[in-house]
Amino acid sequence: MTTEEQLKEIVRQKYSEIALQDKETNASSCCGAGGCSTEVYNIMSDDYTQMKGYNPDADLGLGCGLPTQFAKIKKGDTVVDLGSGAGNDCFIARAETGEAGKVIGIDFTPAMIEKARANADKLGYNNVEFRQGDIEQMPVGGNLADVIVSNCVLNLVPNKDGVFKEIYRVLKPGGHFSISDVMLVGALPEGLRKDAEMYAGCVSGAIQKDVYMELIRINGFTDITIQKEKPIVIPDDILVNYLDKNELENFKKGDTGIFSITVFARKPASKSDCVPGGGCC
Inform me whether the pLDDT recorded for 132 exceeds 80.
yes
Inform me whether the pLDDT recorded for 176 exceeds 60.
yes
Q: What is the pLDDT of residue 131?
A: 98
Contact, 96 vs 73, CB < 8 A?
Answer: yes
Helix (H) or strand (E) holding 175: strand 171-185
Angle between helices 209-218 and 160-170 (to 10 degrees): 40
Percent of the chain predicted with pLDDT > 90: 49
CA distance linking residue 203 with residue 219, whole number of Å: 24
More confident residue, 112 or 4: 112
Confidence category of residue 31, pLDDT binned at 50, 70, 90: very low
Instruction: Give the number of other CB atoms < 10 A from CB of residue 147.
Output: 26
Q: Which of 16-25, 44-53, 102-111, 193-202 has the highest mean pLDDT?
A: 102-111
Q: What is the pLDDT of residue 274?
A: 54
Confidence category of residue 145, pLDDT binned at 50, 70, 90: very high
CA distance linking residue 171 with residue 145, whole number of Å: 5
Q: Which of 2-16, 32-46, 213-227 has the highest mean pLDDT?
A: 213-227
What mean pLDDT comes out for the span 95-121? 95
Confidence category of residue 114, pLDDT binned at 50, 70, 90: very high
More confident residue, 172 or 250: 172
SS3 of 227, please?
strand
Compute φ and ψ for 139, nearest 5 degrees. Answer: -80, 50
More confident residue, 17 or 128: 128
Q: If you count them, how many residues does the chain have?
A: 281
Helix, strand, coil share of the chain (percent; to 5) = 35, 20, 40
Contact, 263 vs 225, CB < 8 A?
Answer: yes
Q: What is the pLDDT of residue 17?
A: 63
Q: Which of 11-15, 43-47, 182-186 has the highest mean pLDDT?
A: 182-186
What mean pLDDT comes out for the span 10-15? 60
Residue boundaries of the structural domains of the chain: 4-269
What mean pLDDT comes out for the span 237-246? 80
The pLDDT tens digits of the residues spanning 32-62 come to 444 444 332 345 667 888 899 989 888 877 7
Q: What is the pLDDT of residue 161?
A: 96
Inform me whether the pLDDT recorded for 200 exceeds 50.
no
Q: What is the pLDDT of residue 140?
A: 97
**Would you give the DSSP letter of residue 134?**
B
Inform me whether the pLDDT recorded for 165 exceeds 80.
yes
Mean pLDDT score of the chain, rounded to an integer?
Answer: 82
Inform me whether the pLDDT recorded for 235 exceeds 80.
no
Q: Does domain 4-269 have CATH number 3.40.50.150?
A: yes
Inform me whether the pLDDT recorded for 214 exceeds 70.
yes
